Amino acid sequence: MRTLTYAQAIREAHAQMLELDARVFVIGQGLWSPWYAGASLEGLDREFGCARVVDTPVSENAVTGMAVGAALAGLRPIVFHPRMDFMLLAMDPIVNQAANWSYLFGGHGASCGDVPLVIRAVINRGGEQGAQHSQALHAMFMHVPGLKVVMPSTPADAKGLLMAAMADPGPVLYIDDRWLYAERGEVVAEPFTVTIGEAVVRRGGSDITLIGISWMAAECMRAAGILEREGIGAEVIDLRSLKPWDKEMVAASVSRTGRAVVADGGWRTAGASADIAAEIAERCFADLTAPVRRVTLPDAPAPANRAQEQAYYPGAEQIAAAARAVLTGGADGRTKRAAA
């Protein structure tokens, strides 16, 4: 088994899809740029030509609308947004058109129903780039019917979920995190898919369940290592998909451990963590021995100062601290057992 970086795995998925299916093309801004895409699209324009790797002006709305039209015409476009923040300019073709189209026409065939479109958006947190370049906006799109949302945390899933998104008959929002680009892991050379909507248990444990999304799934693994040295067994679930997300796997784990921490790199209010915590409360209330805790960004725009960024972005230490609070009843983690 080879090891690749997260960015290399994304690049390999693009190359294999372009080679295997003549309908596939990539369109967006900065496709050749290591600043915009890292190594995730490196050299694809030279390998496959500018007719299939189409670098565009800064025109998020127009380019995404073109991709929706191409999908309706039977092609398999991947539209690339190097900053998820500015993908907001393309909300109409994504939300009003792509997500709804199959419902409007009853899903009757590619020419009038299916929209086989991958919208790839990069989260670009930190780096002193400030509030307009550092937003993790995935929770917005969890709210939209007709749109699937995936967020891989490992190189293998980065490849497998991208290929699964391309195979899907409907629009899929594929979100990758620039902080993960250098992460290394085993990736098979052959094309393969990871089932959209299936989470994975990254690590077993019986004391508490840590549920992570994208970068925060990796931080949950680091937090579990910290907790293990303290004699605490944390089970780590990497959601991988946010729409749909694997409610059954999460509920089974939390029912067994009785405690949960949800770690999300987005904001707290009405965020992904809120939906997950609410679902846990509904499904697992009788099994919970403590309230669910969430580790998220504060409800404030991202700073553009390195010292403030270090305080703004949570990670493994904050997840481990939340787990300790749940286990001991500290802060708002008071348990039923302690009360008894």
User: How buried is residue 13: exposed, middle or buried, by Cβ count under 10 Å (0-12/13-18/19+)?
Assistant: buried
Write out the DSSP string of 314-338.
Answer: --HHHHHHHHHHHHHT-TT---HHH
Measured CA to CA, the distance from residue 13 to residue 18 in angstroms comes to 9
Type of residue at 7: A
Nearest to 150 by CA among 120, 179, 129: 120
Measured CA to CA, the distance from residue 101 to residue 114 in angstroms comes to 7
Measured CA to CA, the distance from residue 179 to residue 215 in angstroms comes to 7
Nearest to 263 by CA among 285, 236, 244, 281: 236
Omega cis (within 30) before 244: yes
Residues classed as catalytic: 60, 133
Cα distances from 173 to residues 1, 60, 252, 324, in angstroms, run 29, 15, 27, 34
Query: Would you say 163 and 184 are in contact if contact means Cβ atoms under 8 Å apart?
Result: no
Q: Give Dmax over CA atoms of the chain in angstroms.
A: 69
